[in-house]
């Protein structure tokens, strides 16, 4: 559903459309906000746990970690915008009359109850090293009658490590005692947990006067004008850090924060050519505000990129590559600072058991799921070369030359005589019984070709890189071509004897093969994709009013598949097709512009994961490609 109106850089939302909480972040802290101002979660990086969160989320039992129905139910419960949260309790039943996103990012709620009106604004200040949140309440009387009211801080929540409910669990983490207690100190609320080295602090001011008694905060709402309360919340690993951050939180930082997001989102909108009233602006803005604000976290001097902050604050090299690339290609990361920080995380921080990247990681760089996915070995290498092309900065290439060479050694050592390379899992994290996977091999061929410009630096002759790339494409021609509906298409995967037909929303490299300049038959590529985006792909295509390409990982229509179809339309010069896809994306995005993992193809309702970083970012790149099919440094 598209927002009601767009006014300059302010997006006005209809609370009747609310289908998930709102999200706030500044790259250090991420939070979710309910429909009446309750803070449903507040989270941050943690140097040993990976990530920590204070929330009222229901606990999740380890015995249910392999029950997908229980997992999906748990995830869905988190998406309730009226669900339990923490914050000021006025003893009133608030009704939300309207919602604004200032700078397309900062939530401002307009509430009313019993003759009292409240404007609630919540933001994470764009201040260096400040992992905190500010919420202001401005109360006034609708009927000009003075009213005394009492508020109190309501809710302790649980300070813990995230539940990490994965549909393909790759390794259960050891349990922790998360018994959480709340005390007061110097007029501030202090929240701690038994085995979680972390501290949340809350300070409340009324008209600039600190409130020491958080059980009873007396407020006189005047007959004319407003009374203003300021709530400051911090989360850090130590008492000292949390207190120092609390003191640094400045309520006058709102205009700077709104200006920051206004600048970044406007830059992205301009880069993809959407006019100011375009229906996809909220989706473009979401890629920026969520990608930068909630999906990146500092790890020492490096930066991890998360798949989301709420369900799986883990990192995959694949998701992170598309997020970083989208923000870099649209000018949102003009200096390349995010990419440099992420490259440092990839090559210095992330563990590489047996010389390769694992399926997924905690933000600390510790392996969460050790499974081997072929495609994820390529994205870090591409990110280095993309950065070189985009900025002419040779620093990362030379700095990580030995690691890049090791990864190439690993890839070359996995080559089969057919020219193809095997993988354990698909890019959807699912096990694969046919080891030679099409899109992963196309990606390897592209990566080796791109590395030729760095052959001297990484110590691999360009002739060998070129030969290996060509051998892969020859292997695809020999072993991965099948007949589907009377025409030849690429197969999905093979064991060299059996080849399966299928195409998945996660198989982005397949659609990009011509854009990358791979020497592949255009007719074969076209037939593969036309078939993929149709009922002739029954395992992957979901038919319906809001249907589209999906995945057996979670049946339904996936926005990642929509982004692929826009890319296909861009490369075929078919803008009508692209606009058909735009219409269903605009109609089925969440009220804040976010795209889920999967939607119901008939109703458009979210079927899986209200929080997922890279669908919006991949759409951003698809829009960029539509504007210039030959442009970009990726």
Please write the tens of the pLDDT for every residue from 529-554. Answer: 999 999 999 999 999 999 999 999 99
Question: Alpha-carbon distance 350 to 368, whole Å?
Answer: 11
Question: Alpha-carbon distance 207 to 229, whole Å?
Answer: 6
Give the orientation angle of helix 379-391 with respect to helix 438-450, to 10 degrees.
40
What residues does CATH 2.70.98 cover in the chain?
Answer: 5-258
Contact between residue 587 and residue 527 where contact means Cβ atoms under 8 Å apart: no
Burial of residue 296 (number of CB atoms within 10 Å: 0-12, 13-18, 19+): buried
Return the residue matching tokens 């490609």: 625
Q: How many residues does the chain have?
A: 634
Ramachandran region, residue 24 (left: φ > 0; alpha: ψ -120 to 50; beta: rest): beta
| Residue segments in the chain with a per-residue pLDDT below the cut of 70 | 1-8, 275-277
Q: What is the pLDDT of residue 192?
A: 95
Question: Alpha-carbon distance 526 to 539, whole Å?
Answer: 19
Helix H segments across 392-504?
Answer: 395-399, 401-413, 438-450, 455-458, 462-479
Q: What is the pLDDT of residue 8?
A: 60
Q: What is the pLDDT of residue 2?
A: 41
Contact between residue 626 and residue 570 where contact means Cβ atoms under 8 Å apart: yes
Question: Alpha-carbon distance 36 to 225, whole Å?
Answer: 22
CATH of region 5-258: 2.70.98
pTM of the model: 0.96
DSSP codes, 530-582: HHHTSTTSTTTEE-STT-EE-BTTB-SB-HHHHHHHHHHHHHHT-HHHHHHHH
Question: Alpha-carbon distance 433 to 424, whole Å?
Answer: 8
- Of residues 295, 362, 165, the one with CA closest to residue 612: 295
Contact between residue 352 and residue 291 where contact means Cβ atoms under 8 Å apart: no
Torsion of the alpha carbons at 432, 435, 436 and 442, rounded to the nearest 10: 50
For residue 463, what are the contacts with CB-CB under 8 A and spacing of at least 6? none
DSSP structure class, residue 348? I
Question: Alpha-carbon distance 269 to 559, whole Å?
Answer: 19
Beta strands in 166-247 (DSSP E): 180-185, 188-193, 199-206, 209-210, 217-221, 227-236
Q: What is the pLDDT of residue 171?
A: 81
> For 463, how many CA atoms within 13 A lie in the half-sphere containing its CB?
0
Q: Structure tokens of 466?
A: 């070129």
Using DSSP's 3-state secondary structure scheme, residue 442 falls into helix
Q: What is the pLDDT of residue 277?
A: 61
Burial of residue 309 (number of CB atoms within 10 Å: 0-12, 13-18, 19+): buried
Count Cβ atoms below 10 Å from residue 440 Cβ, excluding itself: 29
Q: Structure tokens of 208?
A: 């600039």
Q: Structure tokens of 32?
A: 């979710």
Dihedrals phi, psi of 71, to nearest 5 degrees? -60, -45
Give the orientation angle of helix 613-627 with respect to helix 281-293, to 10 degrees.
130
């Amino acid at each position: 559903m598209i927002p009601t109106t767009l006014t300059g850089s302010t997006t006005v939302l209809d609370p009747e459309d609310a289908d998930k909480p709102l999200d706030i972040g500044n790259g250090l802290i991420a939070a979710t906000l309910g429909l009446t101002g309750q803070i449903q979660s507040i989270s941050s990086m943690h140097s040993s746990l990976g990530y920590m969160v204070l929330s009222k989320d229901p606990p999740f039992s380890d015995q249910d970690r392999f029950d997908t129905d229980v997992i999906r139910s748990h995830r869905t419960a988190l998406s309730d915008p009226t669900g339990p949260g923490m914050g000021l309790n006025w003893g009133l039943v608030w009704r939300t009359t309207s919602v604004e996103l200032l700078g397309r990012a900062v939530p401002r709620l307009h509430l009313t109850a019993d003759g009292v009106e409240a404007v609630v604004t919540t933001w994470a200040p764009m201040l260096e090293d400040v992992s905190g949140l500010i919420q202001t309440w401005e109360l006034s009387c609708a009927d000009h009658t003075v009213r005394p009211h009492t508020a109190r801080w309501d809710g302790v929540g649980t300070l813990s490590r995230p539940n990490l409910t994965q549909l393909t669990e790759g390794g259960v983490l050891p349990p922790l005692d998360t018994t959480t207690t709340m005390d007061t100190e110097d007029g501030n609320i202090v929240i701690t947990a038994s085995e979680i080295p972390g501290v949340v602090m809350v300070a409340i001011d009324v008209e600039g006067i600190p409130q020491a008694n958080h059980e009873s905060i007396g407020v006189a709402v005047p007959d004319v004008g407003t009374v203003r309360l300021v709530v400051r919340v911090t989360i850090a690993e130590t008492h000292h850090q949390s207190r120092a951050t609390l003191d640094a939180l400045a309520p006058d930082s709102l205009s700077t924060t709104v200006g920051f997001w206004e600048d970044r989102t406007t830059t992205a909108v301009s880069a993809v050519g959407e006019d100011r009233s375009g229906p996809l602006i909220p989706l473009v803005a979401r890629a920026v505000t969520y990608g930068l604000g909630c999906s990146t976290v500092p790890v020492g001097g490096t930066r991890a990129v998360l798949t989301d902050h709420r369900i799986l604050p883990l990192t995959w090299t694949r998701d992170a590559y598309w997020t970083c690339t989208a923000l870099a290609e649209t000018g949102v990361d003009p200096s390349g600072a995010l990419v440099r920080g992420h490259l440092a995380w990839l090559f210095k921080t992330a563990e590489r058991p047996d010389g390769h990247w694992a399926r997924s990681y905690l933000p600390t760089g510790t392996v969460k799921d050790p499974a081997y996915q072929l495609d994820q070995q390529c994205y870090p290498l591409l990110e280095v070369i993309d950065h070189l092309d985009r900025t002419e900065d040779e620093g990362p290439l030379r700095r990580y030359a030995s690691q890049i060479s090791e990864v190439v050694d690993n890839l070359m050592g996995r080559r089969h005589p057919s020219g193809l390379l095997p993988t354990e899992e698909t890019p959807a994290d699912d096990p694969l019984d046919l080891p030679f996977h099409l899109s992963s091999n196309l990606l390897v061929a592209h990566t080796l070709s791109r590395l030729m410009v760095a052959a001297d630096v990484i110590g691999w002759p360009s002739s060998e890189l070129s030969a290996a790339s060509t051998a892969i494409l020859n292997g695809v021609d020999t072993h991965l071509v099948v007949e589907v509906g009377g025409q030849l298409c690429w197969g999905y995967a093979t064991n060299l004897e059996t080849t399966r037909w299928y195409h998945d929303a996660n198989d982005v490299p397949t659609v990009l093969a011509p854009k990358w300049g791979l020497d592949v038959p255009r007719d074969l590529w076209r037939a593969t994709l036309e078939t993929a985006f149709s009922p002739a792909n029954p395992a992957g295509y979901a038919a319906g009013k809001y249907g589209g390409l999906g995945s057996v990982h979670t049946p339904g229509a996936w926005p990642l598949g929509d982004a692929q179809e826009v890319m296909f339309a861009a490369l075929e010069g078919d803008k009508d097709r692209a606009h058909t896809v735009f219409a269903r994306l605009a109609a089925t995005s969440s009220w804040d512009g976010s795209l889920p993992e999967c939607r119901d193809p008939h109703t458009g309702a979210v079927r899986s994961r209200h929080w997922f970083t890279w669908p919006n970012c991949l759409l951003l790149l698809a829009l960029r490609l539509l504007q210039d099919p030959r442009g970009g440094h990726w």
